[in-house]
Structure 1
Amino acid sequence: MYLLITFIGVLTFSHSAHALVQKDGVGKLPALGWNSWNAFACDVNETKIMTAANEMVNLGLKDAGYEYVNIDDCWSVKSGRDSTTNQIVPDPTTFPSGISGTASSIHALGLKIGIYSSAGTETCAGYPASIGHESLDAATFASWGIDYLKYDNCNVPTNWSDTYQSCVPEPGSSYEGPFPNGTCPAAYYSASHPAAPSNYDWSTSNTTKRYDIMRDALIAQNRTILFSLCEWGQAEVWTWANQTGNSWRMSGDIDPSWSRIVYILNENSFLLDFLDFWGHNDADMLEVGNGNLTLEENRSHFALWAAMKSPLIIGTALNELSTDLVNVLKNKYLLAFNQDDVFGSPAMPYKWGANPNWTWNSTSPAEYWSGASQNGTLVLAFNPSGTALEKQIVWSEVPQLANGGDAFEVTDIWTGDDLGCVSNGINSTVATHGTAGFLVGKACQGTSQSTSSLVRQHREVRECAGLFGGDNKY
């Protein structure tokens, strides 16, 4: 509870006065796109980038709203900058058309292109980075036709280190945990990396200054470039980054394991008061389609990232993605919520479920979520447990519905089924690691039919019609 109160205390300052508002609405809503890293890491080249761009069109992802095709680390010559111009040099072997040529091809598809650098001397993979070269690199990126910059946090020079260590409650090499109620105990810090005073203003930190320098360099260009901060939740980034970038990573890196996805979900559930239009917590790139995640886990991952209004940046090989997972990424109800241009706030937990409300639990986070949108209230029931569970959504417990009546028009977000006018609430059997989701619309005259049998009836009809693939749980 201490963390939540501390975060809310800074919210009004960061959003009402200092949002980074860009031309043509760029950055107002969470970015939708694709990035090369989770799929290919350093094994990236022009062919793979163009395959992703073409698949975004062919699979209907562009039509669903995805627009950025982002090249991550390892795109340049590793040995250094151009000896004459001092510019970063695209690798002529892996990008024979150069970045500008690749950008032209992507723009011809009606898409946008992103590039990667770091606020340090080298990128995370050891390639030339941008600290000390921000103006030159921003101008170079703009001249190439870049639309998006992911700016990492590796290889920071000693003279740019922060005076204090911020609390990022994740296991690391120097401290594995625990993190009582999401806090960092004394053992997390050291003499060389002490905790900040309670009244410390992180917007004065060197981390903030490093990212502000690149922000200013990008703004100075005659091209709008979305600025995505990838600084891993350091320096309490959520308290200042709304004036610096369009999104900011709130945690360390994701990986395609269920445990890591749930860990980040738990972290971000306590930070959601810090985002709205023009600035978004970035829960990291999607792992949908990667690793050994089940269909239910992929659905939950996408649904909760969309509901939290994180940028939705796909990170898998699109030409190998199953139809089921393409459909998850194109879910029209979740994308509409994520991209709502009237309601900027995310869905938030309204009930933790197995745990008391506001419990920090990295394996069993908040289970019941809701958020307002133009189309109605999105309500999710997440099952983090290892067995299927009956989940009960009660209208009177949902903040957006509590004073609106006893019955509402309801749509199942996974099947698209219109469940009609549903009284009191809705029960669903939710598979292990699955998420039930409903769009709750206008108030209506209630039905006498039990909600659990109503959901079951609609699912049985779809299964008999061969529309549900035998998967009769969420």
Structure 2
Amino acid sequence: MSTVAWVVAGLCLLPITQAELPGPDFRHPVRHHQGNEQVALLGAAPSAALVRPNDVGRLPALGWNSWNAFNCDINEEKFLTAAQKMIDLGFKDAGYEYVNIDDCWSIKDHRDEKTKRMIPDPERFPEGISGTANKIHDMGLKIGIYSSAGTKTCAGYPASIGYETIDAEAWAEWGIDYLKYDNCNVPQNWTDECNFCVPDADNGSLDYINGTCMDDGNYCPPDYDWSKSNTAKRYQIMSDALLAQDRVILYSLCEWGHAGVQYWGNTTAASWRSTGDINTNWDRVLEIFNENSFWGHYTDFWGHSDPDMLEVGNGDSMTPNQWRTHFAMWAAMKSPLLIGADLSNVTDEAVKIMLNKPLLDFNQDPVVGKPAMPYKWGTNADWTFNKTYPAEFWAGRFQQGVMVLMFNPYDATKEKVADFGEIPGLEKGASYKVTDAWTGDDLGCRTGSVLANVGAYDTAVLVVGEKCYGQGNRVMERMGEGFIGRDFTA
């Protein structure tokens, strides 16, 4: 395949070849941190990744977060219930481990006068955050907490700018394992001198063409060094405070894709938000999916571009087909997978989707760190930035072979063909053993391609395994819920 160009937010042109997409031999250089000792390792990558002890942050985080289901309506009981449901429904056994407290956990109007620490709300958390943390740890799970790199959180509670060391020490003492660090209420002296184009309606960027912001937004020049921006500095201060603690705390940036975070995020944290906030509207999920699809080259071990939490099972505004696409693409992009639904009321279908073993195996593969990448757009010309019709054909290597995803963005069933000659890592005209990732059905040996009729807004997911020799195509009787297979000629 010929060399192509990534066009990201009108600021980055990153030529890559299909041979680079995606491969197990590409590795980031890494910055090991054990106590205060740092060791730089050589290698070719966008930036040096932050490596923590015990593999914390090496793979995308798996867990649950309170915000999407409950917003500020939280208390200890809801977190303990979520933790127990994670165990009862099989999420813990599947690798989900974090139970994360989002905004609104502290007293709202002041810190402790003597220690300057934030004060856990005694009505919501009668034994403090440390008491809740002990109970979560006793269940074999980990606990996360929330703050913002500003004067107040997004809901108006005390935040951490100017208190980074005090807060990091408190969280480590309380037994915290994960920090989500937001971007609200930034004081004027900490704002950036110019802006990074984030073509996202949630960030106010409505006037853009193919990912390039066209409005007069005081945008920085293409060669601007975002690692020296005030935003990068704000988040680095908290990173340093966390690194100084005896306890390892996974650090997750929630800066909404601002300040060219893809270029410096993995030197600072384990993951970084690439977009504004998600919600349960399908159009919003598509918009975020499209945005994050252009940042895959910056995801690898120890650093993951984050298109926000999962909305699978949260209400009924999306169909199961849309849930499948949402989860499949987040897993394939090696995004953190943080459940946003109330696990006390989640449907069996939503649970089944979020426990899909092949997709979790791909997301959590310990050998291949790179995500799946688009190899063909489908509706649009390749490398088109389109929030309504994102890239439809994706592939990525993992230990079981090559995962292939075919997304149908239309409201009616569409025929899709996975042509082996187009897919990186596969050979034109060759025969491979193929499995339907949704059902586990063995589709037999397929020569040259696989055809499926994909239901409205659904995504077919295939695991293309070892080569077959001397075997032709077998009739595909069923290919996943919402998919209809048929005989074909390769």
Give me the TM-score of the superposition, normalised by structure 2. Answer: 0.89
| Amino acid paired to 2:280 | P
Q: Does 1:211 align with 2:240?
A: no
Residues 7, 274 of structure 1: 8 Å contact kept: no
Instruction: Rate the CA distance shift 1:248–1:175 in 2: closer, same or farther, 3 A.
Output: closer
Quote the residue 1:392 is aligned against. 417
Aligned mate of 1:321, from 346, 349, 374: 346
Match of 1:181 in 2: 210
Counterpart in 1 of 2:359? 334
1:3 aligns with 2:28: no
Shift of 1:16: 6.6
User: Does structure 2 conserve the Cα–Cα contact (< 8 Å) formed by 1:174 and 1:188?
Assistant: no
Equivalent position of 2:389 in the other structure: 364
Q: Deviations over 1:201-247 (max 9, x none)?
A: 00000000000000000000000000000000000100011100000
Matched with 1:152 is 182
Contact 1:232 1:249 in 2 (8 A): yes
How many Å apart are 1:8 and its aligned residue? 3.4
Match of 1:373 in 2: 398
Query: Given residue 94 of structure 1, which amino acid in structure 2 is its aligned partner?
Result: R
Residue 435 of structure 2 aligns with an amino acid whose one-letter code is T
1:251-290 superposed matches below 5 A:
251-290=275-314
CA distance in 2, matches of 1:28, 1:279: 7
Aligned with residue 374 of structure 2, among 304, 327, 349: 349
Distance across 1 between alignment mates of 2:198 and 2:47: 26
Evaluate the alpha carbon distance shift between residue 222 and residue 7 of structure 1 in structure 2; reply closer, same or farther with a 3 A threshold: farther
* 2: CA distance, partners of 1:315 / 1:446: 47
Q: SS state of the match for residue 270, structure 1?
A: helix
Any conservation in 1 of the 2:165–2:241 contact (CA below 8 Å)?
yes
Contact 1:14 1:242 in 2 (8 A): no
Determine if the alignment matches structure 1 residue 141 to structure 2 residue 171.
yes
Amino acid at match of 2:85: E
2:270 corresponds to which of 232, 246, 251: 246
SS at match of 1:320: coil
CA deviation string 1:254-297 (max 9, x = no partner): 01111011101111111110110000000100000124110100
For the residues of structure 1 that align with 2:78 and 2:404, how far apart are their CA atoms? 37
Aligned 8 A contact 1:421 1:446 in 2: no
Distance in structure 2 (CA, Å) of the matches to 1:144 and 1:9 = 46
Q: Which residue of 1 aligns with 2:326?
A: 301
**Partner secondary structure for residue 377 of structure 1:** strand
* Contact 1:8–1:274 under 8 Å retained in 2: no
* 1:72 and 2:97 matched: no
Q: Partner of 2:488 in structure 1?
A: none
Whichever residue aligns with residue 145 of structure 1, its letter is G
Q: Which has the higher strand share?
A: 2
Q: State yes or no: 1:39 paired with 2:69.
A: yes
Aligned to 1:465: none
Q: 1:440 aligns with which of 461, 464, 482?
A: 464
CA contact (8 A) 1:408 1:422 kept: yes
CA offsets, 1:71-97, max 9 Å, x none?
000000001101111110000001112
Question: In structure 2, what is the equivalent of residue 225 of structure 1?
Answer: 249
How far has the Cα of 1:322 moved from its partner? Answer: 1.1
Aligned to 1:412: 436
**How do 1:56-95 and structure 2 match up within 5 A?**
56-95=86-125
Q: What is the Cα deviation at residue 181 of structure 1?
A: 1.0
**How many equivalent pairs are there?**
454
Query: 1:66–1:84: structure 2 CA closer, same or farther, 3 Å change rule?
Result: same
Q: 1:174 and 1:372 mapped to 2: Cα distance?
A: 36
State how 1:165-204 maps to structure 2 within 5 Å: 165-171=195-201, 175-177=205-207, 179-185=208-214, 187-189=215-217, 194-204=218-228
In structure 2, stretches of 5+ residues that fail to align are 17-27, 30-42, 486-490
Deviation at 1:402, TM superposition (A): 2.9
- SS of the equivalent of 1:409 reads strand
Percent of pairs with identical residues: 54
Cα distance, 1:458 vs structure 2: 3.9
Relative to structure 1, is the Cα distance of residues 163 and 370 closer, same or farther in structure 2, using a 3 angstrom cutoff?
same
1:410 & 1:53 partners in 2: Cα distance?
36
Rounded Cα–Cα distance in structure 2 between residues aligned with 1:445 and 1:90? 63
Q: Relative to 1, partners in 2 of residues 1:144 and 1:256: Cα closer, same or farther, differing over 3 Å? A: same
Equivalent position of 1:122 in the other structure: 152
Cα 1:2/1:410, change in 2 over 3 Å: closer
Structure 2 residue matching 1:436: 3-state secondary structure: strand
Distance in 1 of aligned mates of 2:161 and 2:393? 43
C-alpha spacing 1:2/1:324, structure 2 compared with 1 (3 Å): closer
- Alignment RMSD: 1.9
Q: Is the 8 A contact 1:306 1:334 kept in 2?
A: yes
